[in-house]
């Protein structure tokens, strides 16, 4: 059984994090509002640009796997990026069944802008710590979703669909 004092301390740290993050977001919003920037960080298209900036020339299937996206979502995001002239699609020279996605020069610039949007507090974490944080937050979110579902199943369905749609575009 987990230590109640440790649980209380962790709850306090979560509350503190939410308060500090809210304040930081407010400051960011005030200092960037006049530049037309917004805080919709890590949209699906942005994640694809970031992945390609680290390894350009990935197949569409590899992108989907690396980013934990469905093939359909990946294709949708890639097609939008092609229309914006940020990436190109070409058939692989070694396997004609594969479509290879490459950044354009405009895509590279956009990827650089996307990487600058990673919050500083996450840049201090190692890959292992980021994986641990993601796993912990997933576990906490699942527990909260279960509480909501138990309390009001019909409201949960609407809420979960809304969150899933928003997250699909922002983070997934």
Confidence at residue 81, expressed as pLDDT on a 0 to 100 scale: 94
Confidence at residue 40, expressed as pLDDT on a 0 to 100 scale: 41
Burial grade of 82 (CB within 10 A; 0-12, 13-18, 19 or more):
middle
Distance CA 47, CA 73 (A): 12
pLDDT below 50 — which residues of the chain? Answer: 36-42, 169-172
Confidence at residue 91, expressed as pLDDT on a 0 to 100 scale: 92
Confidence at residue 29, expressed as pLDDT on a 0 to 100 scale: 67
pTM: 0.57
> 3-state SS of the chain: helix, strand, coil percent to 5?
70, 5, 20
Confidence at residue 85, expressed as pLDDT on a 0 to 100 scale: 95
Q: Order of strands across the sheet with 87-91? A: 58-59, 99-103, 87-91
Confidence at residue 171, expressed as pLDDT on a 0 to 100 scale: 45
Confidence at residue 164, expressed as pLDDT on a 0 to 100 scale: 66
């Amino acid at each position: 059984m987990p230590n109640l004092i440790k649980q209380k301390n962790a709850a306090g740290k979560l509350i503190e994090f939410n308060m500090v993050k809210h304040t930081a977001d407010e400051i960011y919003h005030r200092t960037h509002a006049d530049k037309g920037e917004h805080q919709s960080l890590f949209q699906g298209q942005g994640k694809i640009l970031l992945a390609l900036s680290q390894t350009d020339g990935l197949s569409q299937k590899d992108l989907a796997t690396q980013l934990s996206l469905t093939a359909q979502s990946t294709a949708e995001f890639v097609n939008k990026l092609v229309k914006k002239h940020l990436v190109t699609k070409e058939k692989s020279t070694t396997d004609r069944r594969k479509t290879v996605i490459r950044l354009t020069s405009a895509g590279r610039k956009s990827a650089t802008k996307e990487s600058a949007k990673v919050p500083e507090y996450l840049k201090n974490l190692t890959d292992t710590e980021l994986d641990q944080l993601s796993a912990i937050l997933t576990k906490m979110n699942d527990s909260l979703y279960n509480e909501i579902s138990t309390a009001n199943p019909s409201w949960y369905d609407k809420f979960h669909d809304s969150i899933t749609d928003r997250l699909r575009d922002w983070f997934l």
